[in-house]
């Protein structure tokens, strides 16, 4: 996470995405980074309206206007609560495409999304946006699962000693500067077993509020397993998940 690049948070106005927006605003305040709040108005919804009502119908215009107003109200609330400046962006098109394009446009250093659903439903829902964006993006991604009440205090950094591990440590120092990460304050733990079960078990055992991991593993086989490991951690764990996309040279 580059200390000068902005934070981009995407919202669909659901409660989980509002938690994500709140966390992003808190991070912007803590780090001094610019914050952009965006909503992607699905082109599929607009296409349906145009199919049934015709292009430029009042209903389409009203939907866009009301969505923009809702986005601005959320931005104003975040700005007032966290004392930060919030830029708004209302985009239309395929959700993943417009989020990725906006991240490129602002050169975002961190993407923030909310997790959705609970239990089995969460496992199904995450594949729709968060996981697909995780597979596509080359930028760090923070998936927020809990209502933020304070800065991150205890982070679990999952390491496999691949080139991505060092960058995961550097990333958590930016996102969770108040977490326990000083040399005399961190605990090392080596565990064996099913990756996601070990991660979730350590998260719960140490009462962590953030899990941090690299996007890829040591081998191509481990990279293929990323989706299932990440999905299981997001589904079964209880805290936010930060994924580093960069590797050490």
pLDDT tens sequence for the chain (249 residues)? 555 789 999 999 988 899 999 999 999 999 999 999 999 887 777 777 776 777 766 777 888 899 999 999 999 999 999 999 999 999 988 888 899 999 999 999 999 998 864 443 344 344 556 667 766 778 888 999 999 999 999 888 887 666 666 677 778 888 888 875 555 555 666 666 777 788 889 898 888 999 987 765 444 444 434 456 666 777 788 899 998 776 544
Residue 219 confidence (pLDDT): 45
> What is the crossing angle of helices 195-205 and 226-236, to 10°?
30
The yes-or-no answer to whether 1-148 and 150-249 have a common fold is yes
- How far is it, in rounded angstroms, from Cα 239 to Cα 118? 13
How far is Cα 92 from Cα 158, in angstroms, rounded to an integer?
Answer: 36
Work out whether strand 86-93 and strand 35-42 pair parallel, antiparallel, or are unpaired. parallel
> What does the pLDDT look like over 188-244, one tens digit per residue?
666 667 777 888 898 988 889 999 877 654 444 444 344 566 667 777 888 999 987
**How far apart (Å, rounded) are the C-alpha atoms in residues 73 and 70?**
5
Kindly tell me the sign of the dihedral angle through the C-alpha atoms of 200, 206, 212, 214: negative
What is the model's pTM? 0.82
- For 1-148, CATH gives 3.40.50.620
pLDDT of residue 131: 66
For residue 72, give both structure tokens.
Answer: 């601005």
CATH 1.20.120.450 fits domain 150-249: no
If phi > 0 it is left, if psi is from -120 to 50 it is alpha, else beta; for residue 246 that is: beta
Q: What is the pLDDT of residue 188?
A: 63
Sheet holding 35-42, edge to edge: 86-93, 35-42, 7-10, 110-114, 141-144, 240-244, 210-214, 155-158
Q: Where are the domains of the chain?
A: 1-148, 150-249
């Amino acid at each position: 996470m580059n200390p000068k690049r902005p934070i981009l948070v995407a919202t669909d106005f659901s409660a989980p995405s509002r938690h994500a927006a709140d966390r992003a605003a808190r991070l912007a305040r803590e780090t001094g980074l610019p914050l952009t709040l965006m909503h992607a108005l699905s082109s599929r919804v607009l296409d349906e309206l145009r199919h049934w009502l015709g292009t430029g119908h009042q209903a389409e215009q009203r939907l866009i206007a009301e969505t923009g107003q809702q986005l601005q109200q959320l931005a104003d609330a975040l700005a007032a609560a966290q004392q930060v400046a919030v830029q708004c962006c209302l985009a239309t098109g395929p959700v993943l495409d417009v989020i990725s394009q906006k991240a490129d446009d602002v050169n975002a250093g961190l993407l923030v999304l909310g997790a959705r659903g609970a239990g089995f439903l969460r496992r199904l829902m995450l594949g729709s946006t968060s996981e697909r964006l995780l597979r596509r993006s080359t930028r760090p991604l923070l998936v927020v699962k809990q209502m933020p009440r304070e800065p991150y205090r205890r982070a679990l950094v999952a390491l496999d000693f691949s080139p991505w591990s060092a960058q995961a440590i550097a990333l958590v120092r930016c996102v969770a500067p108040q977490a326990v990460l000083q040399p005399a304050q961190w605990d090392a733990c080596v565990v064996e077993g099913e990756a996601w079960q070990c991660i979730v078990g350590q998260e719960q055992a140490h009462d962590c509020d953030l899990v941090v991991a690299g996007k890829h593993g040591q081998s191509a086989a481990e990279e293929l397993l990323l989706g299932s490991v990440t999905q299981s951690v997001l589904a079964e764990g209880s805290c936010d998940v930060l994924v580093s996309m960069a590797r050490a040279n």
